[in-house]
């Protein structure tokens, strides 16, 4: 008899059934939130060049999209709007008949069971492309909050189930919570983009949402990618101000932040698997350089392992299809 003194880790990897038995993290279609870009312009749906498989939809083409999502078992979407007209105060964001408000009404009418999350920001609606109002070249914090509050309330009035503010102004959760409560929407949760970095990974989104800043950058309100403690301060503020979910964004380069936030809070943490992360995989896959299905499942499983409960991802439909294939 051999006398060996080491651990036999391979025992628990010996067969597919054994591995299934000890798997610690499992991805479910219920974990996925699918982003949808809706345009006011009444032209056929158009594909975003840098995001193959992602489209900008006119209102009347939402029906087939929603049906496809429900068939796949995806029951949560987050909406981004492309208005026909922009101005310096982002009026389209809080107009009663703004594109996000109208798309919300259309989806909730077609499919009341579909959870509609409204992204609450001004950058898609301002002619300068910043997430707040501008004075002498800088983005004003408190003045922007009033407009964001109006935006959130109008989205809730249109039927949004969750408000997701992504603007990174200080105090946005507090002010939006107050606005929703005053309007009687105390049951509508806030999914806060609590930790949002000034990231190059948003490049393709800015093409999709036509929201690139026309001057400067977003570094005075979005976070420095070098900072970790600051992320915990941002997450703590949003929790104290009343957030119901905390988003970390982007996700792949920020797995340490996801884990830190997970360890600090008992709220559900959400990863935003952003446009640049999607585009890189699609490009490599189109070249035949990677196995797209395995890469995507590995990336998203890793986000869950890092500590998130939910993932906002352009891969949602692909993943739901993969999970069905593998079931």
In this chain, which stretch among 21-29, 118-126, 240-248, 279-287 interacts with ligand PBG, using CB under 6 A?
118-126
| Nearest residue (CB) to ligand PBG, 119 versus 234 | 119
| Nearest residue (CB) to ligand PBG, 71 versus 217 | 217
Task: Mark whether 196 is an active-site residue.
Answer: yes
- Tell me whether strands 269-273 and 134-135 are parallel, antiparallel or unpaired: unpaired
Q: 275 to 304, contacts with ligand PBG by CB under 6 A?
A: 275
Non-local (6+) Cβ contacts of 56 within 8 A are 37, 38, 39, 45, 46, 48, 82, 208
Give SS3 for 318. Answer: helix
Of the CA atoms within 13 Å of residue 231, those in its CB half-sphere come to 28
Q: 240 to 279, contacts with ligand PBG by CB under 6 A?
A: 274-275
Task: Mark whether 249 is an active-site residue.
Answer: yes
The helix (run of H) or strand (run of E) holding residue 170 is: none
C-beta nearest to ligand PBG: residue? 205
- Cα(244)–Cα(278) distance, rounded to whole angstroms? 26
Choosing from 150, 249, 282, 304, the catalytic residue is 249
Size of the site for ligand PBG (CB under 6 A): 11
Q: 160 to 219, contacts with ligand PBG by CB under 6 A?
A: 166, 202, 205-206, 218
Q: How far is the CB of 1 from ligand PBG (least distance, A)?
A: 59
The helix (run of H) or strand (run of E) holding residue 53 is: strand 51-58
- Tell me whether strands 46-48 and 310-313 are parallel, antiparallel or unpaired: unpaired
Q: How far is the CB of 44 from ligand PBG (least distance, A)?
A: 23
Q: How far is the CB of 166 from ligand PBG (least distance, A)?
A: 4
Q: How far is the CB of 121 from ligand PBG (least distance, A)?
A: 4
Question: Per DSSP, what are the bridge partners of residue 77?
Answer: 34, 116
123 near ligand PBG, rule: CB under 6 A: yes
- Cα(297)–Cα(189) distance, rounded to whole angstroms? 29
| Nearest residue (CB) to ligand PBG, 131 versus 145 | 131
What's the length of the chain? 327
Q: How far is the CB of 133 from ligand PBG (least distance, A)?
A: 14
What value does the CA radius of gyration of the chain take, rounded to a whole number of Å? 21
- Cα(269)–Cα(247) distance, rounded to whole angstroms? 6
Of the CA atoms within 13 Å of residue 100, those in its CB half-sphere come to 36
> Binding site for Zn(2+): what residues are annotated?
121, 123, 131
Q: What are the residue numbers of the active site? A: 196, 249
Q: Which residues bind ligand PBG (CB under 6 A)?
A: 119, 121, 123, 131, 166, 202, 205-206, 218, 274-275
> Binding site: what residues are annotated?
121, 123, 131, 206, 218, 234, 275, 314
> Binding site for 5-aminolevulinate: what residues are annotated?
206, 218, 275, 314
């Amino acid at each position: 008899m051999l006398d060996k003194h080491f651990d036999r880790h391979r025992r628990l990897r010996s067969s597919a059934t054994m591995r299934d038995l000890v798997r610690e993290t499992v991805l479910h279609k219920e974990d996925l939130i699918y982003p949808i870009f809706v345009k006011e312009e009444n032209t056929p749906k158009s594909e975003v060049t840098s995001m193959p498989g992602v489209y900008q939809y006119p209102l009347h083409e939402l029906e087939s999209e929603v049906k496809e999502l429900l068939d796949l078992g995806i029951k949560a979407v987050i909406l981004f709007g492309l208005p026909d007209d922009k101005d310096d105060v982002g009026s389209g964001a809080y107009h009663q008949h703004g594109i996000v408000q109208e798309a919300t009404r259309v989806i909730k009418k077609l499919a009341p069971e579909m959870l509609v999350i409204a992204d609450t920001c001004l950058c898609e609606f301002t002619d300068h492309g910043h997430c707040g109002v501008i004075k002498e070249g800088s983005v004003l914090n408190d003045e922007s909050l009033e407009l964001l509050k109006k935006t959130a309330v109008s989205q809730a009035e249109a039927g949004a189930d969750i408000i997701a503010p992504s603007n990174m102004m200080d105090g946005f959760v507090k002010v939006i919570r107050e606005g929703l409560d005053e309007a009687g929407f105390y049951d509508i949760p806030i999914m806060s983009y609590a930790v949002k970095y000034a990231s190059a990974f948003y490049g393709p989104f800015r093409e999709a949402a036509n929201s690139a800043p026309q001057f400067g950058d977003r570094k005075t309100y979005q976070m420095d990618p070098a900072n970790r403690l600051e992320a915990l301060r941002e997450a703590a503020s949003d929790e104290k101000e009343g957030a119901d979910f905390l988003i970390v964004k982007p996700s792949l380069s920020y797995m340490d932040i996801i884990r830190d936030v997970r360890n600090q809070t008992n709220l559900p943490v959400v990863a935003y698997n952003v446009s640049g992360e999607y585009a890189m995989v699609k490009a490599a896959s189109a070249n035949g350089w990677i196995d797209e299905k395995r890469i995507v499942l590995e990336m998203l499983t890793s986000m869950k392992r890092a500590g998130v409960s939910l993932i906002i991802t352009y891969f949602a439909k692909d993943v739901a299809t993969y999970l069905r294939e593998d079931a």
